[in-house]
Amino acid sequence: MKNTLKAVVLVLFTITTVSAHDGHKSKQDSTALQADTVVNAQSTGEEHTDHTRISEADSHDAHAQDAHHEKKVTADLADFPTIHPLIVHFAIVLLIVGAILAVVNIYFIKKELAWTAFALVLVGFIAAYLAGRNFHPHTHGLTEHAKLVLEQHDFWADWTINLGFIGLLLQGINLFIFQSKRWAMAIVAVVLLSAAYAVAQAGHYGAQLVHIEGVGPEGKFLELEHGH
């Protein structure tokens, strides 16, 4: 009887111990499950945030692309901060070509070439005058170095206008009075070559202002007043 009681007590103790161990294990499993749930929730939240950021970035890129496509392929004159560069290139090309024709015509002495040179120099002079006087852009906030470059540009632009006018006048006198005498044509050619050199120098300093000093692109350092 005594042994039987001991056996019953031992069995009950074993069952209680196993049950207590299983309960502790279940509690650990529950805690681990909760931890996994929190980690998964955080990961899901981070992924959602990342997707949101990516979506916002895609949306921003889409808006930028739409704005880019909305720009006109051919801009109107009013869209330019200044139309100076649209005019000055005519002066550069026409004065140089007119001077070359005047030099070539010293050998050929053709009235057709003389009149062509006169027409090119006339249009080139008008373009130079408009670019240097009526449509010369006003600047602000330039660096000291950029101011020096601008002074050189304006200096040679003034000489382009002066020499272009003198060459145009002499070419007209040569056509109507001297009847294309070779010595008169040589004098005109020298003046026009000087005008061509001046406009080339003005163009050089103008390109330096734009592409090195950054004056002009998107209206930088310019007073945005059309017609100046």
Task: Please give the C-alpha separations between residue 138 and each of 67, 88, 141, 173, 222, in angstroms, as whole numbers.
Answer: 30, 15, 11, 36, 6
Number of Cβ within 10 Å of residue 203's Cβ equals 20
188: CB partners within 8 A, 6+ apart: 102, 167, 170, 171, 174
The set of residues, in sequence order, having a beta carbon less than 8 Å from that of 115 and lying 6+ positions away, is 175
Along the 228 residues of the chain, how does pLDDT read in single tens digits?
445 445 444 544 454 444 444 444 444 444 444 545 444 545 555 555 555 555 565 555 555 555 555 678 998 988 888 899 999 999 999 999 999 999 999 999 999 999 999 999 999 999 999 999 999 889 999 999 999 999 999 999 999 999 999 999 999 999 999 988 999 999 999 999 999 999 999 999 999 999 999 998 888 999 865 443
Please give the DSSP secondary-structure letter assigned to residue 135: T
* HSE-up of residue 205 (Cα within 13 Å, Cβ side): 18
Phi-psi region of 42 (alpha: psi -120 to 50; beta: other; left: phi over 0): alpha
Burial 128-141 (b: 16+ CB within 10 A, else e): bbbbbeebbbebee
Q: How many helices (H) and strands (E) does the chain have?
A: 5, 0
Asked if 179 contacts 89 with a C-beta cutoff of 8 angstroms, the reply is no
For the residues of 18-52, what is the DSSP string, one character each? HHHHHHHHHHHHHHHHHHHHHHHHHHHHHHHHHHH
